[in-house]
Chains A and B, each alone.
Chain A
Amino acid sequence: MNGITNEPVFQPGKRHYVLCGDEEGLDSLNPIKLILSNEKMSFEEIHLFLESPSEVDKKLERQKMGTYLYVAAEGKMLRKVVSTAKKLGYSSEEAQYIRVGEEEKRIFCCRCYVISRVNNTLNIGEHINCTACSLKLELSDHYSPIKDAYLGYVAQI
Chain B
Amino acid sequence: MNSENRLKVRIEAITKETASIKRFTFVGTDNKSLPPFSAGSHIILYLKGRGGEFERRYSLIGSQDSTENYQIAVKLHEKSSGGSSYLHSKSKIGDILQISFPKNYFPLSFHARHHVFLAAGIGITPFLSMMRELKDRGASFELHYSTKTKEDCAFYSYLIKEYSQQTHFYFTKQGKRIETNILLNQHIGTHVYLCGPEGFTSSFSRAATSIGYPSASFHYEYFSPPNIYKPRPFILKLTNGSFLSVPDEKSTLDVLLEAGYHVPHSCKIGRCGTCELSIVEGEAEHHDSFLSTKQKDSQVSFLPCVSRSKTKILKVDHS
Contact = CB atoms under 8 A, between A and B. Distances in A.
B212 A90 contact: no
A65 B183 CA distance: 8
Q: Give chain B's interface residue range (CB within 8 Å of chain A).
A: 20 to 34
A88 B189 contact: yes
Given A66-B213, A94-B188, A94-B214, 16 more contacts: A15-B212, A61-B187, A61-B188, A63-B187, A64-B187, A64-B188, A65-B211, A65-B213, A65-B217, A66-B211, A67-B212, A88-B188, A89-B111, A89-B113, A89-B190, A90-B188
B93 interface: no
A141 B189 CA distance: 31
Interface of B: 111-114, 183-190, 209, 211-217
Interface string A4-28: 0000000001111000000000000
A93 B113 contact: no
Contact of B216 (A66, A68, A88, A91): A91
Contacts of A16: 212
A54 B190 CA distance: 21
Interface residues of A, number: 19
Contacts of B212: 13-16, 65-68
Q: A67, A68, A90, A91 — which one has the most chain B CB atoms within 10 A of its CB?
A: A91
Interface of A: 13-16, 60-68, 88-91, 93-94
6 contacts: A13-B209, A13-B212, A63-B188, A65-B213, A67-B188, A88-B189
A90 B189 contact: yes
A61 B188 CA distance: 7
Contacts of B187: 61-65
Contacts of B216: 91, 93
Given A91-B214, A93-B216, A65 B186 contact: yes
Nearest to B214: A93
A32 to B, nearest CB: 16
Contacts of A90: 188-189
Instruction: Identify the interface centre among B184, B185, B187, B216: most chain A CB within 10 Å of its CB.
Output: B187
Contact of A64 (B112, B186, B209, B214): B186
Contacts of B112: 89
Contacts of A66: 211-213
B181 to A, nearest CB: 12
A30 B216 CA distance: 28
Contacts of A93: 214-217
Contacts of A67: 188, 212
A141 to B, nearest CB: 24
Nearest to B215: A93
A43 to B, nearest CB: 13
Contacts of A68: 212
A119 B58 CA distance: 57
